[in-house]
Amino acid sequence: SPNCPFVLFVGTKKLVKRKEFEQFISEKLVI
């Protein structure tokens, strides 16, 4: 289906955002 790559892209984007967010939180906790 043509929608598959789009869903995959959005999922990857969300995953990246989440990783950045977790890294941001852990940095805040360290300080």
What does the DSSP assignment read for 1-31? -TTHHHHHHHHHHHHHHHHHHHHHHHHHHH-
Range of the structural domain that residue 22 is part of: 1-31
Domains held by the chain: number: 1
Q: Sorting pLDDT into bands at 50, 70 and 90, what band is 8?
A: confident
Residue 23 has a pLDDT of 93
Q: Sorting pLDDT into bands at 50, 70 and 90, what band is 24?
A: very high
What whole-number distance in Å separates Cα of residue 9 and Cα of residue 11? 5
What whole-number distance in Å separates Cα of residue 25 and Cα of residue 21? 6
Amino acid residing at 26? S
Residue 4 has a pLDDT of 76
Residue 31 has a pLDDT of 62
Location of structure tokens 């360290």: 30
Taking residues 7-23, report their average pLDDT.
Answer: 89
Taking residues 22-26, report their average pLDDT.
Answer: 92
Residue 18 has a pLDDT of 92
